[in-house]
Chains A and B, each alone.
Chain A
Amino acid sequence: MISGMARAATTADAFNAVAEPRRRLILDVLAGGERPVNDLVRELGLGQPQVSKHLRVLREVGAVEVRDHGRQRLYRLNGPALKPIHDWVKSYESLWSERFDQLDVVLDELKQKEEGDGSDE
């Protein structure tokens, strides 16, 4: 029903593309340099159709690029396409880091109060 449609619609966005664990593995391998599909199949231990399917999703959002080299198709990482995700995660991390730094201060006080009481817990 509706959720099925919603899922189909999400596949063409960078956040979705990198959320799939096997796609992250592919990106990790490609971070080491350009690779033909066969290398990816071998290194990931997945079937070729599966790898091709994931590569297609990654290409749709621009996370990987492909070029023909003789009879091979070579895939490589396209970092800038993933920058919005990196930027968002970093800014969200910084929001929570600042909250937690304040929380450290509150916890320190609670700890001292409790030790001072020498009572409960």
Chain B
Amino acid sequence: MAVTSSGTATVTLPTDTQILITREFDAPRHLVYRAWTTPELVKRWWHANRGEVTLAEIDLRVGGMWRYVSRSDDGLEVAFHGEYREIVPNERLVSTEVYEGIPDAEEHAALDTLTLTESDGRTTLTVLVEHSTKEGRDAHINSGMEAGMQDAMDLLEEVAVSLR
């Protein structure tokens, strides 16, 4: 079979409160949308190989809620939830995103905009994460730092195993 990898995600910081994630997929956008909005499918990719997604709830309608919980291999649990604000099937999905691990989490919600554009059967996905406050952005960055730490731990473990 052909190698499916379409490259790594690109992350940029367009403004001081925005984070933009971009990636191209070798699949039509209605399938990317399905994988993004179907709980059983989200459970299969959102874990990022760092543990497992223990909960994925999606109530896909404007005003409906979503909630994901994941547990890393060493037991660290993180949870995110939000509310759908705008839904254009296969094209665009706007929702809030709350990282439950910080104080006053709701106040520091981000607004996430997923856009999918298709060309020749390939899909370009972008996620624009917009924070309304510096605290929200910093909390997001810190949650990323935790993930970074986790990376380091994983690497360390691999090294340890290879030395046995």
Contacts and interface: CB of A to CB of B under 8 A. Distances in A.
Nearest to B35: A106
B9 A107 contact: no
B144 A95 contact: yes
Contact of B44 (A89, A94, A106): A106
B32 interface: yes
Contacts, number: 118
At the interface, is chain B mostly helix, strand, loop or mixed? Answer: mixed
B9 A104 contact: no
Contacts of A114: 31
A98 B48 contact: yes
A91 B21 contact: no
B61 interface: no
B5 A107 contact: no
Contact of B16 (A15, A92, A93, A106): A15
Interface of B: 4-6, 8-19, 21, 23, 25-28, 30-32, 34-35, 41, 44-50, 133-134, 137, 141, 144-145, 147-148, 151
Interface of A: 6, 9-10, 13, 15-16, 18-20, 85, 87-108, 110-111, 114, 121
